[in-house]
Amino acid sequence: MIEARQVSLTIEQTTVVKDMTFSFTKPGMYGIIGPNGAGKTSLLRLMSGAAQPTSGSMLLGDKPISAYPRKALARTMAVLQQGGLPPVGFSVRDTVAMGRFAFQGWFGDEREDPSPLIDSALNRMGLIELQHRPLDRLSGGERQRAALAQIMVQNPHIMLLDEPTTYLDIGYQVQLLETVHEWQRERGMIVVAVLHDLNLASLYCDQLIVMKDGSLYASGTPETVITKELVHDVYHADAEVIYTEPGGPPQIVLHRAGVGMKEKPILDRMQWIQPIGR
């Protein structure tokens, strides 16, 4: 369980996270959304213990995150940082194996052979064929998949993902979130992901937190949070919100700036699009 109690973070006289209170108590997918500079990464850094609140407290279970030794924290929580892995000379397999550091003794040994776990993570991320390739000879998307495989072998209870779909094409974006979602359910994990794509956030998250100017702007299920008004007020963009199936997650369709077809209901407009051959 992660709980933020009136958490604020001030960096160089600017308060980048302001008085945030929330808790993630149940297993599930939690999304943090909001515009550039809203404070999403800063909030994730507070949740991972990489930054300490200037005021308020960030708790893991019933203790402040700062009270956990590094290795103990790594056995509970895995973090995928923004920007992913650097393009260095380590092979994909060795890089993924480094995710086991929290379970190793002084000499890098483990009680049980971690190979099956590493093979499974490589397999799930479609990296078996690339496992012996160095990271500096991979595309950005392949490196991002290796980064996720690395935190998979950590076997965490909580996973914090900062823009996990960066560098991925839409097929891999969906595949990555599908894998994370499936894995979250199998293991009953709490997954917190900073996502820029509202449609993906709506498809995969059970609950969303919206940040604006460092503060909590809204929170709730995608159905309650993703609205035309939210897109307008938080992102200063015009959009329609549509449902592709009854009871399904909302999806947004953007308008060009200032060229909104605001008066026409969406169903009316969809009749303009005729399948070829009719």
Ligand X SMILES: Nc1ncnc2c1ncn2[C@@H]1O[C@H](COP(=O)(O)OP(=O)(O)OP(=O)(O)O)[C@@H](O)[C@H]1O
Task: Scan residues 60-79 and list those touching ligand X (CB under 6 A).
Answer: none
* Torsion sign over Cα 217, 223, 224, 227: positive
Q: Which stretch binds ligand X (CB under 6 A): 37-45, 55-63, 230-238, 246-254?
A: 37-45
Nearer to ligand X, 104 or 215 (CB): 215
Whole-Å CA distances, 158 to 26, 87, 122, 212, 262 = 11, 26, 20, 25, 42
39 lines the binding site for ligand X (CB under 6 A): yes
CB of 228 to ligand X, least distance (A): 21
Residue (of 45, 81, 63, 68) closest to 2 by Cα position:
63
154 lines the binding site for ligand X (CB under 6 A): no
- Alpha carbons 219 and 209: distance in angstroms, whole number: 4
The residue whose two tokens read 């097929």 is 171
101 token code pair: 């550091």
145 lines the binding site for ligand X (CB under 6 A): no
34 lines the binding site for ligand X (CB under 6 A): yes
Q: Which stretch binds ligand X (CB under 6 A): 40-48, 100-108, 177-185, 201-209?
A: 40-48
18 lines the binding site for ligand X (CB under 6 A): no
- Alpha carbons 2 and 27: distance in angstroms, whole number: 11
58 lines the binding site for ligand X (CB under 6 A): no
Nearer to ligand X, 38 or 189 (CB): 38
Buried b (16+ CB within 10 A) or exposed e, 207-241: bbbbbbebbbbbeeebeebbeeebbeebbebbbbb
Binding-site member from 13, 36, 271, 274 for ligand X (CB under 6 A):
36
78 token code pair: 């895995």
Nearer to ligand X, 18 or 124 (CB): 18
List residues near ligand X by CB under 6 A.
11-12, 16, 34, 36-42
